[in-house]
Amino acid sequence: MSNSGTTWSSLLTEQRLNTSAHLDELSTRGIIELINNEDRKVADGVKAVLPEISRAADLVTAAFQSGGRLFYVGAGTSGRLGVLDASECPPTYGVDSEMVQGIIAGGEAAMVRTQEGAEDLEEDGAFALEQKGVTDQDVVMGIAASGVTPFVLGGLRKAREIGAPTVFFTCNPETAGAVEATVKITPVVGPEVVTGSTRMKAGTATKMVLNMITTAAMIKLGKVYGNLMVDLKPSCAKLRDRTERILAIAGELDPEACSDALRAADNDLKAAIVMAKRAVSLETARALLQHNGGIVRDALLGDAPT
């Protein structure tokens, strides 16, 4: 029995999938086809909760705009996916690593080796948020495929006490009613091909939703122009090449000229785009961007600050 009063055997993610009841008798191709057929259901499950995902993205965007942060709280696969999404925001969007953070039951060691029992301690979830210094300006998103993970519920409880907006994600809608949160995201993806293995469909749904939330928020913050990441930092050869290709497209420059153009902009891609498109100095380009909230499109179309 979970602490919410729900037996594990009643959870949708713990049910046995009839179509995979003879999974061990299938050929390799048969196993792969069955998994693929089930995975097709994930996108439809996520589609059904797009309004809630949009609300969560707006909450996160508002927090970022006021200097707040996003904290993911999870255990096992859910926790790892939160840490993964958080860790990919800085290289993709040039944001500080403190802006999006993942908290996983069992700490860093749990990223590579299961920490049995860590998810069962509700007080640890609350303590983890205290250690991070979460405030009412931040957003806390609890991720629990089962919907009853004590570590996650403890984190959400502490977030509510602090006054922070909360988001709750689970693939067991029946458990969401017992959880208080500003926004609840409850995609139905059905039982897993391997019974109870929520790293499969539930994990895929989690990855999709986290991608949507942070991507939408970063776009709203001006980290994307068109479909190009324009706060990219050229910190390695791959990213340097990508930065130059983005500048060639957005700045309408010959590829050969992009290296010099970036150098003239002190490797500031946004400024380089504005310099190229408006034929202005670096100082003016930066003033235009600052005047227009860092939004490249507005900086290209708006009047220069006086």
Active-site annotation, residues = 88, 119
Q: How far out from the chain centre does Cα 53 lie? A: 11
Q: How far is CA 69 from CA 12, 137, 174, 299, in A?
A: 32, 7, 29, 26
Distance from C-alpha of 100 to C-alpha of 98, rounded to nearest angstrom: 6
Cα distance between residue 102 and residue 113, in whole Å: 16
CA dihedral 216, 217, 218, 221 (to 10 degrees): 120
Question: Residue 48 is encoded by which pair of tokens?
Answer: 């059904």
How many C-beta neighbours within 10 Å does residue 74 have? 30
Q: Residue 243 is encoded by which pair of tokens?
A: 């930065």
Handedness of CA 270, 275, 277, 280 (dihedral sign): positive
Long-range contacts of 202-205 (CB under 8 A, 24+ apart): 202/13, 202/77, 202/145, 202/171, 203/77, 203/78, 203/81, 203/145, 204/39, 204/42, 205/42, 205/45, 205/46, 205/171
DSSP-assigned beta bridge partners for residue 225 = 228
